[in-house]
């Protein structure tokens, strides 16, 4: 009996073996080695979008709300009457010495400086006053500069005339040379020639007279040319 049971198990085992052999021969090949994992390739950087989208765009120079706003204003040309040869470092008075003084008041009193100053102290003070670089208040009247020159002497011409009158000829010449509009001011040109004659510079005075005789319509230049 035991022999019959053992024989049955042997036959069953043999049948299973034959079925396995048939599956191997007729079925797909079996993988006997471990499965290799394929790495996931990284995205190609060359295919990526190089330009940022509108939502991603960033200003290279972001403007802060606290940045100052730059405004440009038109600068007025300086008044020729403000020129001079002295400042506070060279013996002059303050650049703001006329602050709060009406221009009409300055124009009215400047020609009234005394012709003769016996006191050396007053003479030095007058020299400092007439030669100081100082801001002149603007003219409230809305007139062109040419119209102002035709109507009355310029302040710088008045200062030159006062310097000549009190005998400061060299100082008057220096103030004329420091005036950028000296060739456009008829009275200042005349004072320049007079100043040269007072200083015994006949050659310089005559050269200026011949240069201006056809340029300025004034009998003074005809007389100067005849004198020369």
Please give the structure tokens belonging to residue 227.
Answer: 């004198």
Q: What pLDDT is stored for residue 64 in this prediction?
A: 59
Residue 202 predicted with pLDDT over 90: yes
Average pLDDT over residues 58-78: 58
Whether 5 maps to a domain, the answer reads no
Q: What pLDDT is stored for residue 5 in this prediction?
A: 46
Whole-prediction pTM: 0.63
Lowest mean pLDDT among 16-20, 159-163, 170-174: 16-20
Whether 4 maps to a domain, the answer reads no
Q: How far apart are CA 137 and CA 107, in angstroms?
A: 11
Whether 107 maps to a domain, the answer reads yes
DSSP 170: H
Are 157 and 110 in contact, with CB atoms under 8 Å apart? no
Are 164 and 134 in contact, with CB atoms under 8 Å apart? no
Whether 1 maps to a domain, the answer reads no
Q: How far apart are CA 217 and CA 212, in angstroms?
A: 9
Highest mean pLDDT among 62-76, 145-159, 160-174: 160-174
Q: What confidence category does residue 76 fall into, taking pLDDT thresholds of 50, 70 and 90?
A: low
Residue 24 predicted with pLDDT over 80: no
Q: What confidence category does residue 81 fall into, taking pLDDT thresholds of 50, 70 and 90?
A: confident
Domain region containing 173: 80-200
Residue 132 predicted with pLDDT over 60: yes
Whether 210 maps to a domain, the answer reads no
44 phi and psi, to 5 degrees?
-70, 120
Residues in a beta bridge with 107: none
Average pLDDT over residues 212-216: 83
Whether 93 maps to a domain, the answer reads yes
Average pLDDT over residues 79-85: 89
Angle between helices 120-131 and 169-178 (to 10 degrees): 10
Number of domains in the chain: 1
């Amino acid at each position: 009996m035991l022999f019959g049971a053992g024989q049955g198990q042997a036959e069953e085992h043999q049948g299973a073996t034959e079925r396995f052999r048939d599956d191997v021969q007729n079925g797909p090949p079996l993988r006997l080695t471990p499965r290799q994992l394929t790495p996931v390739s990284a995205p190609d950087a060359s295919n990526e979008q190089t330009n940022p989208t509108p939502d991603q765009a960033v200003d290279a120079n972001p403007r802060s709300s606290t940045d100052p706003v730059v405004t440009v204003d038109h600068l007025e040309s300086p008044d020729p009457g403000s020129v001079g040869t002295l400042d506070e470092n060279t013996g002059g008075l303050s650049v703001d010495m006329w602050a709060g003084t009406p221009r009409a008041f300055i124009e009215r009193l400047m020609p009234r400086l005394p012709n003769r100053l016996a006191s050396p102290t007053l003479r030095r003070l007058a020299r400092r006053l007439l030669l100081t670089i100082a801001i002149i208040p603007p003219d409230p009247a809305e007139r062109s500069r040419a119209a102002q020159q035709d109507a009355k002497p310029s302040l710088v011409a008045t200062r030159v005339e006062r310097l000549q009158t009190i005998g400061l000829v060299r100082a008057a010449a220096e103030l004329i040379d420091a005036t950028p509009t000296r060739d456009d001011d008829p009275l200042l040109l005349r004072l320049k020639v007079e100043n040269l004659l007072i200083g015994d510079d006949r050659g310089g005075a005559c050269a200026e007279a011949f240069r201006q005789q056809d340029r300025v319509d004034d009998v003074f230049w005809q007389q100067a040319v005849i004198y020369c």
